């Protein structure tokens, strides 16, 4: 097999599609407050943002090499001799042949209300409720159906008609095509159609974008969509102050902040059947079953082994926290500042139970222009809804285990 490259598409010009996006946005933002007393204020916030972006999304996918067998009638005449002598040729062109478009719509809503005030000793307090909602809808056209693309580019001459046809229809027992290096990871097979059924439409990838017929385009690609909804509700109370009236250290009063917070998170993610790997009708496998039960693939469109799952879930947590700042020294010889800070948070999750995180921090500034800081902390990352409900699988290919195809000449 001999490898060569080149195509009729300006891949560098394509970069602009992801930089200069048509973007329509409407933002409504309202802030209000009302002084109930000299020391108590009622406040509220309302924000709504709707946004739509559009982009041409090419290339549709990427593969290491696309193979052309010696009997492929679409091979240009100047490489037919090479293909005959080596068993085939391959090109490095990615599937740039299909017009693809992506539209993303986002809606964000945030509503906040609460009370804030100041005590007679100068301590400040706040009680608030916060609700937020985010929705995203993504619609794509021209997404490559993996098994159909490989079947379509493996063209032969149909002996019954003398016209180009898919090898899978002329010889249904022919093995499905793959790339030699399996980049990206893909297990070859026929999943969305049945070989020999006469539905496959051949594609000429050897003459650039203009050689792809509308019939081939429609058979090899499909629209896809996904939806995401996130909701968050937070009720919180906090108190901030210092101990100036009753406790003072050599560096000054002790500062503190403490509070309690209840938070609920909800999310829903949905994908179209192609991205979920739902076998369609007309397949050798039972319609409605999942691709991952029949192969190592999880996705009928690109990328083939990227697993998508519909998921919906929620959790809530109650947090209590306290922070203190101890000014040990101030404006002393060799101690312009010496401050010890400490913070702790206890959280009780409906999913994993209680957790504790903390931090200590020491700042020493011998002079105004020089300061040293050291800290020790313990942090906890609780699982989000996706982490908790769905175990994502990542398939790793060891390149050292791949077998090079015979007669591969680079």
Residue 48 pLDDT: 98
Identify which of 344, 317, 345, 127 has the alpha carbon closest to the alpha carbon of residue 239: 127
Residue 180 pLDDT: 85
Tokens of 39: 């020391």
Residue 60 pLDDT: 63
Residue 404 pLDDT: 36
Residue 18 pLDDT: 58
Tell me the pLDDT tens digit for each residue of 220-236: 999 999 999 999 999 99
Residue 226 pLDDT: 96
Task: Report the distance separating Cα 128 and Cα 113, nearest Å.
Answer: 6
Residue 184 pLDDT: 86
User: In what helix (H) or strand (E) does residue 23 lie, and over which residues does it extend?
Assistant: strand 23-35
b/e per residue 55-74 (b: at least 16 CB within 10 A): bebbbbbebebbbbbbebbb
Task: Report the distance separating Cα 131 and Cα 111, nearest Å.
Answer: 5
Positions in the chain short of pLDDT 70: 1-20, 58-60, 93-97, 390-410
Residue 384 pLDDT: 84
CB-CB contact of 166 with 152 (8 Å): yes
CA distances from 93 to 206, 211, 243 (A): 9, 14, 70
Residues in contact with 118: Cβ distance below 8 Å, sequence separation at least 6, in sequence order = 39, 124, 125
């Amino acid at each position: 097999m001999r490898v060569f490259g080149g195509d009729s598409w300006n891949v560098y010009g394509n970069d602009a599609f992801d930089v200069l996006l048509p973007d329509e946005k409407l933002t409504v933002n309202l802030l209000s407050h009302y002084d109930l007393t000299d020391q108590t204020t009622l406040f509220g916030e309302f924000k709504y943002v709707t946004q739509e972006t559009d982009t041409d999304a090419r290339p549709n996918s990427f593969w290491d090499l696309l193979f052309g067998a010696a009997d492929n009638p679409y091979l240009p005449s100047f490489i037919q001799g090479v293909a005959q002598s080596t068993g085939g040729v391959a090109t490095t062109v990615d599937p740039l042949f299909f017009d693809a478009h992506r539209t993303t719509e986002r809606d964000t809503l945030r509503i906040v209300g609460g009370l804030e005030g100041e005590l007679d000793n100068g301590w400040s307090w706040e009680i608030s409720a916060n609700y937020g909602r985010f929705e995203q809808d993504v619609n794509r056209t021209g997404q490559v159906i993996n098994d159909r693309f490989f079947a379509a580019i493996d063209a032969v001459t149909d002996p019954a008609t003398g016209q180009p046809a898919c090898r899978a229809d002329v010889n249904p027992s022919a093995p499905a095509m793959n790339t030699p290096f399996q980049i990206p990871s893909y297990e070859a097979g026929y999943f969305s159609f049945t070989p020999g059924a006469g539905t496959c439409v051949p594609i000429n990838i050897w003459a650039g974008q203009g050689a792809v017929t509308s019939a081939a385009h429609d058979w090899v690609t499909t629209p896809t969509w996904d939806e995401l909804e996130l909701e968050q509700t937070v009720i919180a109370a906090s108190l901030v102050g210092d101990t100036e009236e009753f406790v003072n250290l050599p560096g000054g009063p002790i500062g503190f902040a403490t509070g309690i917070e209840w938070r609920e998170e909800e999310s829903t993610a949905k994908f179209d059947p192609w991205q979920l790997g739902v076998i369609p009708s007309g397949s050798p496998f039972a319609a409605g079953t999942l691709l991952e039960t029949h192969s190592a693939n999880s996705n009928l469109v690109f990328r083939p082994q990227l697993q998508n799952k519909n998921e919906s879930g929620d959790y809530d947590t109650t947090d209590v926290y306290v922070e203190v700042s101890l000014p040990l020294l101030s404006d002393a010889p060799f101690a312009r500042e010496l401050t010890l800070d400490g913070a702790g948070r206890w959280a009780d999750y409906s999913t994993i139970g209680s957790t504790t995180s903390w931090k200590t921090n020491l700042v020493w500034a011998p002079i105004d222009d020089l300061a040293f800081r050291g800290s020790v902390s313990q942090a906890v990352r609780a699982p989000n809804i996706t982490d908790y409900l769905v175990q994502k699988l990542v398939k790793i290919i060891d390149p050292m285990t791949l077998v090079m195809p015979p007669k591969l000449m680079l």
